[in-house]
Amino acid sequence: MSHYILDACALINLHCGWGGLAELRTFGTSWSIGDTALREALFVRDFDLNGDICKVTLDPQAVIANGNLHVLTLDNAQEHASLVEFALELDDGEAQAMSLAFHRKRILVTDDRPAARVASGPVGVLTMGTPEILTAWIDSNPQQRHRLPAVVRRMSVLGPFQLKKSSPHYGWWQALLSGGNAGSGV
Amino acid sequence: MNYQNTDLSALAERLLAARKSAGITQDTAAAHLDMSRPTFIAIEKAIRRPRPEELVKLAALYKTSVSTLLRQATQPPKLLPHLRTAFSGEAQDQDELEIAINKLTSFVDDYLFLENKLDAKPVTNFPPRIRAPVAPIERFAEHCAQEERSRLNLGAHLPIYTLREVLEDVGVHVFFDALPSKLAGLYVFVPDFGYCVLINRLHPKERRRWTMAHEYGHFLMDRDKPGVDYLRPMQRKPENERFADAFAAAFLMPDAGVQRRFYEEVERKSDFNVGDLCGMADHYAVSLMAMTLRLESLGLVGRGTWDGIKESGVAARDLKREAGVQDAPDADSVDTFPDRYKLLAVQAWASEKISTGTLARLLRCSLVEAREIAYRCAEVQIDENGISERFSVNLTESLLAAR
């Protein structure tokens, strides 16, 4: 079974897209988040009854329960040492997630380019972005495919999260946003 | 670079600044790390490198981030000692002042970090410093304000509604934040960075504008001398304060413009009443008191007019309402940070020099809000100095030349 660790932005993206994290339970994998990243994901946005965007304060305990997330903290000198190394390039939440991913052999879910750059360096942490998580979601839940355009639109508007043109998933993402046929994924 | 190779002196300096900013003693910090005070002092003296877990603990204790403590390229600005010397209030106000100074220090530190990250040149095309002549300082301030309005193409008559924008364009870094109500603003010149002003966001629009103009007067006359401005009037103001006050009055309410408007009203109605005063204060976006005192100083209304209004006991806002003057929204941004700062932060993020977490930290907002700001600014181009070019069309381009 694969183990994933979310950074705060990935959590926000998925929460905005799905309207919660319950879909994480359908993957058959384990999901975790560092305590720093959990504290950073203070707010998301959602549509209110009138269709207007509103700010929603996240209750950490509800988020944990909803996504069946394991909250991780650094618990040894090596993990702290790695956090400090990564904090030379990243903010504390991202650095902690990277350290946890490195030492506990988890796949880091991040859309942050500086974080992905650090991960692909000598440290060699595996990463996945939000588009890849969505693809995996559809692959393991084909009956949910019809929801994908709406999920992507929600992420785009509420996140707000947009892919850079340089992303290999850009065309797929844009096709979903414009309501076209996005194929089977990336 | 790795942690063991980072500059120990720079780290020690940041740790020391962060501890002082947090108001924590060496004893408390040493106890927090479960070490002796001499061992802790060795860290602050750059003799001993803190272990990673100690650094993480100190960041938590000082309510800062490990990533901020690890900044290497820029030093934390030392504003506290300078601004403390400008403090002239009661001891109980000292703590509140230090909180305000720490806010400004943190803003400047982040600004320097961004300029360094993007290799953006600091704004240095400051107006020349003014030397006070042996002459009445108020008249001289009037002259300086007229000259400055002319230099900045503000004309001799019109109000300056976007005052913050005007000041930022001439290189003044204007920050807004919630400060204790007694505190109007702080100003300090930081070498290799520029003149910084922190304005109390909680004050009314008119008060904020007055403080900004007042601090700009200090910038022109005594920029090397930091200062703290309180709401309470001083018994006898020193010359530089009198200059800044007179400059603010003349800059916001130019002699020619005020006179023209005054005589237009008088000609139209054969009178000038309290209601007209309220309308004029609204026109120049200044307080009723500032407007009345300005008219008094120009000899347009009698001395003591303001005292009379004040003694009536009627609040200025009630008078304005009675005169049919509605509060207009502030034309200026009351965002914490100058536009240039925000654009530099977004530029650093868009060019992948900083992470989203760092962007949020620099903008003092949540991740969602940081991304919203970033996407909103995304179409704004930034030149090498970090100045925004909002339009792809050059506004000075001739429309006749192409005919």
**Structure confidence by residue, pLDDT tens digits, A114-141:** 999 999 999 999 999 999 999 999 999 9
**Whole-number Å distance between alpha carbons of B369 and B357:** 11
Predicted pLDDT at B392: 46
Angle at A162 between CA A161 and CA A166, to 5 degrees: 145
Place of tokens 């501890």: B19
Q: Write the pLDDT tens digit of every residue in A53-98.
A: 999 999 999 999 999 999 999 999 999 999 999 999 999 999 999 9
Chain A residues within an 8 Å CB radius of B1: 88
Place of tokens 């359908």: A26
Q: What does the pLDDT profile of chain B (403 residues) look like in tens digits?
A: 699 999 999 999 999 999 998 999 999 999 999 999 999 999 999 999 999 999 999 999 999 999 999 998 888 887 766 676 666 666 667 778 888 888 999 999 999 999 999 999 877 778 888 888 877 899 999 999 999 999 999 999 999 999 999 999 888 999 999 998 888 888 888 888 889 999 999 999 999 999 999 999 999 998 877 777 776 655 677 888 899 999 999 999 999 999 999 999 999 988 999 999 999 999 999 999 999 999 999 999 999 999 999 998 888 888 888 888 887 777 788 899 999 999 999 999 999 999 999 999 999 999 999 999 998 886 654 444 444 444 444 555 566 655 5
> Which 8-state DSSP code applies to residue B284?
T
**Whole-number Å distance between alpha carbons of A109 and A69:** 13
Q: B67 at the A interface (CB within 8 A)? A: yes
Show the tokens assigned to B364: 């003092």
> Which 8-state DSSP code applies to residue B126?
P
Most A CBs within 10 Å, among B8, B53, B367, B369, to test the A interface: B367
Both ends of chain A: CA-CA distance in Å? Answer: 22
Check A77 against B353: CB less than 8 A apart. no
Closest by CA position to B393, among listed B403, B384, B378, B381: B381
pLDDT band of A183, cuts 50, 70, 90: very low
- Closest Cα in chain B, distance from residue A100 (Å): 14
> Which amino acid, residue B394?
N
- Closest Cα in chain A, distance from residue B200 (Å): 27
pLDDT band of A1, cuts 50, 70, 90: low
Check B367 against A8: CB less than 8 A apart. yes
Q: Quick one: closest CA in B to A37, which residue?
A: B357
A148-158 vs A130-140: helix crossing angle, rounded to 10: 160
Most B CBs within 10 Å, among A84, A85, A89, A161, to test the B interface: A84
Backbone torsions φ then ψ of A147, nearest 5 degrees: -80, -15
Question: What are the angstrom distances between the C-alpha of B212 and each of A28, B28, B337?
Answer: 59, 39, 14
Instruction: Indicate the residue of B56, B354, B367 with minimum beta-carbon distance to A83.
Output: B56
Helix (H) or strand (E) segment spanning residue A6: strand A3-6
**Whole-number Å distance between alpha carbons of B153 and B254:** 13
> Which 8-state DSSP code applies to residue B192?
T
Predicted pLDDT at B90: 67
Complex ipTM: 0.93
Q: B259 at the A interface (CB within 8 A)? A: no
**Whole-number Å distance between alpha carbons of A35 and A31:** 13
Q: B379 at the A interface (CB within 8 A)? A: no
Q: Quick one: closest CA in A to B375, which residue?
A: A160
Name the 3-class secondary structure at B381. strand
**Whole-number Å distance between alpha carbons of B192 and B75:** 12
Q: Residue B389: beta bridge partners?
A: B381
Chain B residues within an 8 Å CB radius of A87: 65-67, 70
Check A80 against B52: CB less than 8 A apart. yes
Exposed/middle/buried for A151, CB within 10 Å: 0-12, 13-18, 19+?
buried
Check B66 against A84: CB less than 8 A apart. yes
Most B CBs within 10 Å, among A73, A92, A96, A110, to test the B interface: A92
- Closest Cα in chain A, distance from residue B51 (Å): 8
> How many angstroms from the chain centroid is the CA of residue B316?
26
Q: B360 at the A interface (CB within 8 A)? A: yes
Show the tokens assigned to B170: 């001439």
How many residues are listed for chain A in this entry? 186
Check A160 against B360: CB less than 8 A apart. no
Angle at B359 between CA B355 and CA B103, to 5 degrees: 135
CA dihedral B338, B344, B347, B349 (to 10 degrees): -90
Q: Write the pLDDT tens digit of every residue in A7-65.
A: 999 999 999 999 999 999 999 899 999 999 999 998 999 999 998 999 999 999 999 99
Backbone torsions φ then ψ of B80, nearest 5 degrees: -55, -55
Both ends of chain B: CA-CA distance in Å? Answer: 58
Predicted pLDDT at B395: 53
Chain A residues within an 8 Å CB radius of B56: 74, 80, 83-84
Long-range interactions of B199-203: CB distance < 8 A, separation 24+: B199/B174, B199/B175, B200/B176, B201/B176, B201/B177, B201/B334, B201/B336, B202/B178
Helix, strand, coil percent values for chain A (each to nearest 5):
50, 15, 35
Check A93 against B1: CB less than 8 A apart. no
Instruction: Indicate the residue of B352, B366, B368 with minimum beta-carbon distance to A114.
Output: B352
Exposed/middle/buried for B375, CB within 10 Å: 0-12, 13-18, 19+?
middle
Inter-chain Cβ pairs, chain A and chain B, closer than 8 A? 97
Chain B residues within an 8 Å CB radius of A88: 1-3, 6, 67, 70
**Whole-number Å distance between alpha carbons of B278 and B324:** 9
Q: B263 at the A interface (CB within 8 A)? A: no
pTM for the structure as a whole: 0.88
Helix (H) or strand (E) segment spanning residue A43: strand A43-47
- Closest Cα in chain B, distance from residue A96 (Å): 10
- Is residue B167 within 8 Å of B212, Cβ to Cβ? yes
